[in-house]
Amino acid sequence: MTLSKKQIKLIEDVIKNSLKNKFSTYSPEPAIMPFHTRLLGKDRLALYSFIHSLNTNFGTTIFEPVAVSLASNKFKIAKSQKKSGTQISTGAQFEIQKIMDELTAANRKPNKQKEIEIIRQVCQKGEMRTVKPTKIDICLESNDGEIYFFDIKTAKPNKGGFKEFKRTLLEWSATVLSDNPKAKINTLIAIPYNPYEPKPYSRWTMAGMFDLDNELKVAEEFWDFLGGKGTYDDLLGCFERVGIELRSEIDEYFEKFK
């Protein structure tokens, strides 16, 4: 077991509290679906609606606090929903747009290390502009000062959003470097689980825009990076135990929809 008993309790408490809070605040949408209701029953339809609602905020209510809890033992700083910075140079904006244009046209292959160095060279050149980048889902800093920013995405992100995801990662890097040109910055996409398991994650759709080795961590890669080898399996165990413990509560909640 990788996680300590204290860590396991903290994580299980986060899961329990999130689920119980959802039960106390959730109200099914008053949508009338006569065919679905007659075919499946009100309770099954309510369960489907609940799961859909839970999925929309799973990242902020469960994945983010769990990630911060795990990383706190390994990293000097572990926080969620932080700003990367507010300043970006016009030189960096120009180079980011150039990188995006060339990746979109398939005139270059993604290479995060080279892209960071290009931005580093111009991070304080030209006019400094005030910007408001997307907030960082998980912000980490190692004991030796290396920075890691994660943008947590759904298990099957929309291919149409890949360009904006990539731009966000580059802009985060540029805002950090505008404050400290020597900073060692890593910006990545995190996908909490592999929906294709036991097959490998289908990364090919992201290959043209992302440096898969340096900009993407999926399932075990992500959770084991935060908490050490074996963390992912321990985490699944936490969810399973909470599910068993709250089974009667969950059944009782949906019983009222019959």
Better pLDDT: 225 or 162: 225
CATH architecture of 75-227: 3-Layer(aba) Sandwich (3.40)
What pLDDT digit, counting tens, does each position of 114-133 carry? 999 999 999 999 999 999 99
For the chain, the domains span: 1-74+242-258, 75-227
Q: What is the pLDDT of residue 127?
A: 96
Q: What is the pLDDT of residue 225?
A: 97
Percent of the chain at pLDDT > 90 equals 66
Q: What is the average pLDDT across 194-199?
A: 88
Q: What is the pLDDT of residue 200?
A: 84
pTM for the whole thing? 0.89
Q: What is the pLDDT of residue 237?
A: 96
Q: What is the pLDDT of residue 253?
A: 79
Q: What is the pLDDT of residue 29?
A: 63
Q: What is the pLDDT of residue 118?
A: 98
- CA-wise closest residue to 155 among 240, 63, 236: 63
Q: Which range is least confidently modeled, 44-58, 179-193, 213-227, 232-246?
A: 44-58
Q: What is the pLDDT of residue 95?
A: 98
Secondary structure of the chain in the HEC alphabet?
Answer: CCCCHHHHHHHHHHHHHHHHHHHHHCCCCCCCCHHHHHHHCHHHHHHHHHHHHHHHCHHHHHHHHHHHHHHCCCCCEEEEEECCCCEEEHHHHHHHHHHHHHHHCCCCCCCHHHHHHHHHHHCCCCCEEECCCCCEEEEEECCCCCEEEEEECCCCCCHHHHHHHHHHHHHHHHHHHHHCCCCCEEEEEEECCCCCCCCCCCCHHHCCCCCHHHHEEECHHHHHHHHCCCHHHHHHHHHHHHHHHCHHHHHHHHHCCC
Q: What is the average pLDDT across 22-29?
A: 75
pLDDT over 90 at 204, yes or no: no
Confidence band for 46, pLDDT divided at 50, 70 and 90:
confident
Confidence band for 47, pLDDT divided at 50, 70 and 90:
confident
Q: What is the average pLDDT across 32-37?
A: 79
State the chain's mean pLDDT as an integer: 90
Q: Which range is least confidently modeled, 83-87, 207-211, 224-228?
A: 207-211
CA separation for the pair 118, 136 (Å, rounded): 22
Better pLDDT: 23 or 29: 23
